[in-house]
């Protein structure tokens, strides 16, 4: 197919029009004319209609994508594919103040095995579940490079906790949750001596290097991982890969695949064949089957020992207790995906053209009858493939991951080498449909596809290469997430979405109405600990205190001023600035940056955050609000004055040359009276309509009332000074009165427009 742009310019040449002309002509064109000018087919228009979301529209699903090397999570809507948020997880994210305020620095520091790590290689996000269904409360994601798991609370989309694996030195296969979020699975990837052990030469690989699988205990009430009650299975050095938890009939069990069960150690620089050759020699690798339920009982009964402070189940004990089994699986497998009813497990071999379907019933029978074909070198019983396999289906070259449809027996497998998605029936073992993607698909994802009841509808193909799909932006290309309609018999490609932030390995999507995120915090809230902040400050209670050599500034922010506006410290003092956002209004976030101090805070309504730094150089440091929050946002400013040691203040000469007179005061008062008239008419409009039926408007009215309350205080101050003949202060306070009025009017007008656009009706006057 010809690239679009070419087609477009050919059309334009035919019409003898320049680009600008076409664009301006399009403004009044008919649908047909636009289609012709842009070279769009009817099929394109149909796809567009399925994804286009008009202004103010909402998506049916929210997708949470791994941000790959960025260490973030990317949130986007389906079917619109509009990006809604980047959540800072393992990497600082300045806009959210993540990694800049003291509270979130503490989260980032939690999982630092070796001092400062400021990145994560995020792979697999997973939602918390109740009876196998996504419950919309938490999201987990792993870091492969520095084996860690993060917990994101979906009530505010913030990262709350990071835990670092006590044993592993890499972990690709996380995060996968058990059906009631009892545990989060996290498997080692590259075998290594456990963390407590120091250097061990590669010659001792088979004996001293180990893989493993950690079951992180999740405390649902606290919303945090309970490290003390988590446990790890010791496993052979087989490069454990992805996992999935059993569901329904297979609940209580976990499945983890592996590659390089050859236990090959490379050394290309010594003339040895590289890892890639040595690790793909055998025809099969091993699926590890673990009984976590029984393991948890042993832990609870005190029968599992701790190693370096964490529960570790040695291979010997796991075998003796019947907790661990192996089953051969296709060469260099990649995905392992349990069916929604828990009866089957699909595994794909990257170097095979088949997907292999295992039967839980058969596996269970072999375990119960102790029917094994032998043991591996570590004494783990091996279930023969024929005793576990249900079907082998030819799906294409380089199959990787499998996702389930809402329709029984229907699955989709990503085919990396052939750049395809294959739709097939795992009960009957036959291919149903195939679609080409662009290019080299890794994971794929269906709506609520990891739950016990997938929704089907859409599929997202996470393609590793974008090659020619987008406008070129240099050698580093974005990734391409392709949206595919899977509601019918044939898969239909709808949309290409460039993802420009790392390589997103996996994504999970949840029905949007399962999420109930807050729009504001309870006032004075430490969002990272989810409790009232000890530094919370109320309006009028702002203060500066020196405790143990630290200057604590208890401040507040509200449209459009920061209190205090002048902070004075002495050179060498440590300053700790704690700011509370007094706003209750939706979307009224303020920011806070200080010259040269690497400070950037995001203070959402109700939140309290802190920043602590040493003011070690005398000087003048302007600070300001970094969010365009209001008309006088630029005036939301202040000065940190770091005075040289022993500095003596001279007589104040502030405000010189700004002597306001009675005339100035009267002029401001007149403006305020006029503004009040506008406010009154808006208030009249609102109260004469059924505004109470619109929660959005009720919130705006509450906020407007707050602002008007502040306005009254300013007015009283102005009148007090005027009565004393101090027209300097009287004029300025009258000006502040007007500032509050402007904010009230702003709020009121927004409410009025909302009512007008949303069919509010007049209510009879009482």
Q: Which residue is nearest to ligand RUQ (CB)?
A: 442
CB of 350 to ligand RUQ, least distance (A): 9
Give the bridge partners for 285, in sequence order. Answer: 329
Q: Binding ligand RUQ by CB under 6 A: which of 78, 400, 459, 558? A: 400
Considering only residues 324-353, where is the footprint of ligand RUQ by CB under 6 A?
A: 334
549 near 558, Cβ under 8 Å?
A: no
For ligand RUQ, the closer CB: 400 or 683:
400
Q: How many beta carbons lie within 10 A of that of residue 658, not counting itself?
A: 10
Interacting partner of 329 out of ligand CUA, ligand RUQ, none (Cβ under 5 to 8 A depending on kind):
none
Interacting partner of 486 out of ligand RUQ, ligand CUA, none (Cβ under 5 to 8 A depending on kind):
none
What is the DSSP pairing of strand 430-436 with strand 420-425? antiparallel
Interacting partner of 194 out of ligand RUQ, ligand CUA, none (Cβ under 5 to 8 A depending on kind):
none
Interacting partner of 636 out of ligand CUA, ligand RUQ, none (Cβ under 5 to 8 A depending on kind):
ligand CUA
Q: How many beta carbons lie within 10 A of that of residue 266, not counting itself?
A: 15
Report the phi/psi class of residue 411: left, alpha or beta, with left for phi > 0 and alpha for psi in -120 to 50.
beta
Spatial CB neighbours of 71, under 8 Å, sequence gap ≥ 6: 88, 89, 90, 91, 118, 119, 120, 121, 122, 143, 502
CB of 145 to ligand RUQ, least distance (A): 12
* Alpha-carbon distance values, 219 to 138, 182, 417, 503, 560 (Å): 11, 8, 41, 30, 41
Distance from C-alpha of 426 to C-alpha of 391, rounded to nearest angstrom: 8
Interacting partner of 400 out of ligand CUA, ligand RUQ, none (Cβ under 5 to 8 A depending on kind):
ligand RUQ
Q: How many beta carbons lie within 10 A of that of residue 600, not counting itself?
A: 21
Interacting partner of 124 out of ligand CUA, ligand RUQ, none (Cβ under 5 to 8 A depending on kind):
ligand RUQ
- Most distant CA pair in the chain, distance: 101
CB of 85 to ligand CUA, least distance (A): 20
Contacts 24+ apart (CB under 8 A), 129-132: 129/177, 129/178, 129/179, 129/180, 129/181, 129/451, 130/180, 130/181, 131/179, 131/180, 131/452, 132/179, 132/247, 132/248, 132/251, 132/340, 132/451, 132/452, 132/453
Over the window 503 to 522, marking each residue x when it contacts ligand RUQ by CB under 6 A and - when it does not, the resulting string is: --xx----------------
Q: Is 172 among the residues that bind ligand RUQ (CB under 6 A)?
A: yes
Tell me the HSE value of 609 on the side-chain side, using a 13 A CA sphere: 30
For ligand RUQ, the closer CB: 352 or 526:
352
CB of 310 to ligand RUQ, least distance (A): 25
CB of 332 to ligand RUQ, least distance (A): 12
Q: Binding ligand RUQ by CB under 6 A: which of 59, 74, 90, 123? A: 123
Q: Is 536 among the residues that bind ligand RUQ (CB under 6 A)?
A: no
Q: Is 525 among the residues that bind ligand RUQ (CB under 6 A)?
A: no
CB of 101 to ligand CUA, least distance (A): 16
3-state secondary structure of 169: coil
User: Would you tell me which residues interact with ligand CUA (CB under 6 A)?
Assistant: 560, 590, 625, 627-629, 633, 636
For ligand CUA, the closer CB: 188 or 582:
582
CB of 464 to ligand RUQ, least distance (A): 7
For ligand RUQ, the closer CB: 213 or 609:
213
The phi and psi torsions of 673 (rounded to 5 degrees) equal: -65, -45
Binding-residue total with ligand RUQ (CB under 6 A): 11
Q: Is the peptide bond before 439 cis (omega within 30 degrees of 0)?
A: yes
For ligand CUA, the closer CB: 247 or 590:
590
In the chain, % helix, strand, coil (3-state, to 5) comes to: 25, 35, 40
Q: Which residues bind ligand RUQ (CB under 6 A)?
A: 123-124, 172, 242, 334, 400-401, 442-443, 505-506
């Amino acid at each position: 197919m010809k690239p679009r742009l070419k087609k477009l310019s050919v059309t334009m040449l035919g019409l003898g029009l320049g680009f600008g002309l076409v664009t301006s002509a399009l403004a009044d064109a008919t649908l047909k004319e636009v289609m012709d000018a842009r070279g769009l087919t009817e099929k394109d228009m149909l796809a567009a209609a399925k994804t286009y979301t008009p202004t103010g529209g909402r998506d049916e699903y929210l997708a949470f994508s791994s941000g790959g090397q960025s260490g973030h999570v990317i949130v986007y809507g389906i079917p619109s594919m509009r990006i809604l948020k980047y959540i800072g997880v393992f990497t600082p994210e300045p806009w959210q103040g993540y990694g800049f305020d003291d509270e979130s620095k503490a989260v980032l520091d939690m999982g630092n095995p070796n001092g400062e790590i400021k990145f994560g290689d995020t792979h697999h996000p997973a939602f918390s579940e109740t009876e196998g269904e996504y419950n919309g409360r938490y999201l987990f994601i792993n870091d492969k490079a520095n084996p860690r798991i993060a917990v994101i609370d979906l009530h505010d989309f913030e990262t709350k906790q990071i835990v670092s694996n006590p044993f592993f030195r890499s972990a690709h296969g996380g995060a996968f949750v058990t059906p009631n979020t009892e545990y989060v699975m996290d498997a080692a990837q590259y075998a290594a001596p456990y963390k407590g052990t120091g250097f061990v030469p590669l010659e001792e690989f088979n004996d001293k290097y180990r893989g493993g699988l950690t079951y992180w205990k999740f405390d649902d009430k606290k919303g945090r991982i309970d490290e003390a009650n988590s446990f790890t299975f010791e496993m052979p050095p087989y490069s454990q890969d992805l996992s999935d938890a059993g569901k329904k009939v297979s609940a209580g069990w976990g499945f983890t695949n592996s590659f390089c069960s050859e236990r090959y150690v490379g050394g290309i620089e010594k003339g040895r064949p590289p890892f890639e050759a040595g690790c793909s020699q055998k025809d099969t690798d091993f699926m590890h089957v673990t009984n976590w339920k029984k393991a948890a009982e042993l832990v609870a009964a005190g029968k599992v020992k701790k190693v370096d402070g964490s529960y570790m189940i040695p291979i010997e004990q796991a075998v003796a207790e019947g907790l661990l089994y192996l089953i051969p699986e296709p060469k260099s497998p990649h995905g392992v995906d349990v069916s929604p009813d828990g009866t089957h497990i699909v595994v794909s071999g990257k170097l095979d053209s088949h997907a292999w379907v295992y039967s839980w019933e058969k596996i269970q029978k072999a375990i119960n009858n102790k029917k094994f074909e032998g043991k591996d070198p570590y004494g783990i019983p091996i279930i023969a493939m024929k005793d576990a396999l249900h079907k082998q289906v030819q799906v294409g070259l380089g199959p990787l991951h499998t996702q389930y449809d809402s329709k029984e027996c229907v699955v989709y497998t990503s085919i990396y080498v052939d750049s395809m998605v294959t739709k097939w029936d795992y009960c009957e073992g036959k291919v149903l449909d195939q679609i080409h993607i662009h290019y080299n698909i890794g994971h794929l994802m269906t709506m609520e596809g990891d739950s016990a009841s997938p929704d089907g509808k859409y599929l997202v193909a996470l393609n590793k290469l974008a090659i020619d799909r987008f406008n070129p932006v240099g050698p580093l290309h974005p990734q391409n997430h392709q949206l595919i309609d899977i509601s019918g018999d044939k898969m239909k490609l709808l949309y290409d979405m460039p993802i420009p932030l790392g390589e997103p390995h996996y994504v999970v999507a949840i029905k949007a109405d399962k999420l109930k995120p807050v729009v504001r915090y309870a006032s004075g809230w430490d969002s990272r600990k989810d409790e009232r902040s000890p530094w919370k400050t109320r309006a009028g209670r702002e203060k500066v205190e020196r405790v143990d050599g630290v200057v604590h500034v208890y401040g507040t922010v509200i449209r459009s001023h920061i209190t205090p506006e002048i902070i004075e410290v002495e050179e060498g003092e440590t300053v700790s600035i704690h700011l509370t956002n007094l706003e209750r209004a939706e979307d009224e976030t303020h920011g806070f940056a200080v010259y040269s101090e690497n400070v950037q805070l995001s203070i959402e309504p109700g939140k309290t955050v802190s920043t602590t730094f040493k003011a070690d150089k005398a000087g003048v440091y302007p600070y300001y609000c970094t969010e365009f929050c209001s008309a006088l946002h630029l005036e939301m400013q202040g000065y940190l004055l770091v005075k040289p040691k022993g500095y003596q203040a001279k007589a104040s000469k502030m405000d010189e040359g700004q002597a306001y007179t009675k005339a100035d005061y009267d002029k401001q008062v007149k403006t305020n009276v006029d503004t009040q008239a506008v406010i009154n008419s808006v208030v009249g409009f609102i109260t004469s309509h059924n505004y109470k039926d619109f929660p959005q408007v009720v919130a705006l009215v509450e906020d407007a009332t707050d602002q008007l309350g502040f306005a009254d205080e300013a007015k009283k101050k102005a009148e007090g000074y005027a009565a004393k003949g101090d027209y300097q202060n009287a004029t300025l306070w009258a000006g502040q009165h007007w500032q509050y009025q402007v904010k009230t009017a702003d709020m009121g007008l927004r409410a009025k427009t909302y009512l007008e656009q949303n069919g509010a009706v007049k209510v009879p006057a009482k």
